[in-house]
Structure 1
């Protein structure tokens, strides 16, 4: 550590008011270090002095200092105080090995790219390739839609080719559904911890989000009815299978109750069902229970990979023409090449083989997680397992402490608060078990995460 300087001290006078004091102080400290206002070796004010100066609690200062220390920005020297660290004195993830990303929800590698390469090799020698780049390919996708409709079929849910609107992935499908169902600026009902991609899209479109309380299966009918009456909202966005971030799955009775409420209160539903292919049991889509008021979304990227931007929306008959116009207006069309690849994977049975393998691989990874964190209460139901899961923690602050400590130790997690609707506590962290990392690497990362949780914060950094 560089030689400490006792002057000047850091003397902030005001915190941002748009976030909790702890986070505002942490952000200010981080910003001033990064922009050079706080140089290495500068002593920080004692906790009590800074608390009085800013009009906040001593515990708030302590928490911000502790988190900054876990991030490697500051350090304590016995009897002297707390000081800004120089870059060379800061802890580095490299000291503990390569970064492991448990925060980005990518499908595990199970042979998808090899299967796609085989299809593309065949296409390279097929005259149909030229047609896929022609304007006429838009009409040619009718046959592809039928193939996809057959794949989506399950007991009680049998969409036809005319019901299918192809999209450039599920995110495009969500945007399409909002265009069709929600008036500009209208409130949207969502799970109190919701998909981060939906939060981002709603923010850009200025849709206020109305949180709906959840239990171990997801949103509860009682909380939904209370929220929709209080807010007047007419659109619900939800993920009934392997909800992100919590990995919760609604049972049949819960889905039926949600459908009854939709009819009773005349609301529309955007059903984000991108993980349903991972379900180990046949669960009816909400769209099968109230098809006239539900847009059902699926995606091939959740199996084939993030860069494979193709999805399907099952759209009620009354909205189909409007949906096709909206696709033309926003993207003109979807990729005929990607659609042809999916159709061939489906027709040859290769897609089903990959899906079956993905279920087994995901189940193995979740079981590994459940074994390492077996003593934690309220882990997600082990009957439906995908490649993300939920680690419950006592509070949002505990999740934030874990996030920064893990990051400093070379483990990347989903930032706490990313999924929470304003005023909702996010007492946990989504743990992603996929990506290019093999099973052994994931297991090692989970054991490291468990050691971090079991180690008191004071053992990572001690302040004077």
Structure 2
């Protein structure tokens, strides 16, 4: 990368030119998330500069969130979704509209919480909030969550449910308890970015499986099982993140049969399902002995309510609970009681109904404004997947969108391996403060698409 690099004279210091060169390689997709950079001494030798200059370049890259250091692994390309600085508001003081993260489309949760909070002290379970609880979670929360999920899971026994600090925490506990370091996990070639970060942190090998517009391809799944001898497969079967695909009943049956044939566990991330009016039966309902079901309230109610659930076959519950106890002892009983009351009082159902209605309205705006472009979406989805025309790639489009005041998330973040990188971006429709803000942001994105990359490359 640096042996033939010529530094330019002028106001840009050499360390910044080195940092910009690496940033450009990342932006063009030639360096992918998790790639390890050469040691700083080697870069200094190749670039014919002193080590201090390279150290300053790496510090600059770390400040930008592009590179991170790992003990024993040197410097690697960072996952931007993990290092993102999430804003507390979808619109900042400069008018930047951040559609890169999921936020509630309505204020329904806050309104429900305002009604609920004055009632908590009178609840019979209130006194238990100051005590320790079992790692599986308070019994009242397990019962409430089990009752809420049972129409989807067909599992009515609360003893099979573990309460977690959100779905990501549940996924971490499942992987940490049931998959050994060095084992292989399969996933869609394009999938939820959190699984990649978790696998890297747990020293698991995440391998991609080819997919089409209907989801994971059974033939590719069969081939990956034979090639990699995996321990588990990770699936987001309903309103897939980021593509919004919902697997058909036939595709689910095919994938489950292959997983059973090869002795795989199915990790079913189903956090978006409550927003979908109807969907085929879940894996936990049809194949409960090999499925770990992960649900939660963050996507359908509010991310600020950090409460998720894992439903597991009985023999696996104690191992998952032990992993939870090791990393956080137990979940917050206050959050658990808030969620329990909201479920019991019908507030969760009311909030979700409001979210669903709003998402339908916002997705109609998406279809109107971006008509003619390759948009994958669903009326109930929190987001959509915009496949970019040539010569755009995800990182370049993300930078161009930022220049016009709109935040989106590059498709590179969701790629499992370099060969899986899609020229696409994920855009969250709920993140806009209003439908008018969403329309404004989408019109800005349409302008980028119609103007072409060459114009915006001159601006960046």
TM-score bracket for this pair, using the shorter chain length: 0.7 to 0.9
Report the Cα distance in structure 2 between the residues aligned to 1:94 and 1:133, rounded to whole angstroms: 38
Q: CA deviation at 1:122?
A: 0.8
Q: Which residue of 1 aligns with 2:34?
A: none
Q: CA deviation at 1:307?
A: 2.1
Report the Cα distance in structure 1 between the residues aligned to 2:397 and 2:133, rounded to whole angstroms: 53
Q: CA deviation at 1:129?
A: 2.3
Q: Which one of 407, 414, 419 corresponds to residue 412 of structure 1?
A: 407
Q: Does 2:257 match 1:260?
A: yes
Q: CA deviation at 1:416?
A: 3.7
Report the Cα distance in structure 1 between the residues aligned to 2:27 and 2:97, rounded to whole angstroms: 30
Q: Does 2:376 match 1:380?
A: yes
Q: Which residue of 2 aligns with 1:273?
A: 270
Q: Which residue of 2 aligns with 1:435?
A: 431
Q: How does 1:78-89 map to 2 (within 5 A)?
A: none
Distance 1:166 1:370, change over 3 A: same
The answer to whether the 8 A contact 1:170-1:297 is kept is: yes
Distance 1:192 1:296, change over 3 A: same
Report the Cα distance in structure 1 between the residues aligned to 2:249 and 2:414, rounded to whole angstroms: 25
Q: Which one of 358, 362, 369 corresponds to residue 359 of structure 2?
A: 362
Q: CA deviation at 1:297?
A: 0.2
Q: Which one of 177, 199, 203 corresponds to residue 206 of structure 1?
A: 203
Q: Which residue of 2 aligns with 1:190?
A: 187
Q: How does 1:54-93 map to 2 (within 5 A)?
A: none
Deviation readout 1:2-45 (Å, 9 max, x if unpaired): xxx976899879966996694679x99xxx9xx799xxxxxxxx
Deviation readout 1:344-365 (Å, 9 max, x if unpaired): 1111111111111111111211
Q: Which residue of 2 aligns with 1:86?
A: none
Deviation readout 1:104-132 (Å, 9 max, x if unpaired): 12221232112112211111344642321
Q: CA deviation at 1:449?
A: 1.0
Report the Cα distance in structure 1 between the residues aligned to 2:355 and 2:111, rounded to whole angstroms: 15
Uncovered stretches (5+) of structure 2, i.e. residues with no partner = 1-7, 32-36, 38-42, 44-52, 59-90
Q: Secondary structure at the match of 1:189?
A: strand
Q: Does 2:396 match 1:401?
A: yes
Question: CA RMSD of the aligned region, Å?
Answer: 3.4
Report the Cα distance in structure 1 between the residues aligned to 2:159 and 2:18, rounded to whole angstroms: 62
Q: Which one of 142, 164, 175 corresponds to residue 167 of structure 1?
A: 164
Report the Cα distance in structure 2 between the residues aligned to 1:311 and 1:123, rounded to whole angstroms: 21
Q: Secondary structure at the match of 2:354?
A: helix
Q: Secondary structure at the match of 1:434?
A: helix
Q: Which one of 433, 437, 445 corresponds to residue 441 of structure 2?
A: 445
The answer to whether the 8 A contact 1:247-1:386 is kept is: yes
Q: Which one of 280, 283, 286 corresponds to residue 283 of structure 2?
A: 286
Deviation readout 1:127-169 (Å, 9 max, x if unpaired): 6423212136879822321221111122672332111111111
Distance 1:225 1:159, change over 3 A: farther
Distance 1:199 1:7, change over 3 A: closer
Q: CA deviation at 1:249?
A: 1.0
Bigger drift between 7-16 and 249-258 goes to: 7-16
Uncovered stretches (5+) of structure 1, i.e. residues with no partner = 38-92
Report the Cα distance in structure 2 between the residues aligned to 1:18 and 1:459, rounded to whole angstroms: 17
Q: Which one of 114, 118, 133 corresponds to residue 117 of structure 1?
A: 114
TM-score by length of 2: 0.78
Q: Secondary structure at the match of 2:410?
A: coil
TM-score by length of 1: 0.78
Report how many residues are paired.
Answer: 399
Q: CA deviation at 1:407?
A: 0.8
Report the Cα distance in structure 2 between the residues aligned to 1:242 and 1:222, rounded to whole angstroms: 22
Q: Secondary structure at the match of 1:418?
A: helix
Q: Which protein shows a greater Rg?
A: 1
Q: Does 2:360 match 1:342?
A: no
The answer to whether the 8 A contact 2:164-2:307 is kept is: yes
Q: Which residue of 1 aligns with 2:321?
A: 324
Q: CA deviation at 1:217?
A: 2.1
The answer to whether the 8 A contact 2:170-2:310 is kept is: yes
Q: CA deviation at 1:392?
A: 0.9
Distance 1:137 1:227, change over 3 A: closer
Q: Secondary structure at the match of 1:302?
A: coil
Report the Cα distance in structure 1 between the residues aligned to 2:119 and 2:205, rounded to whole angstroms: 48
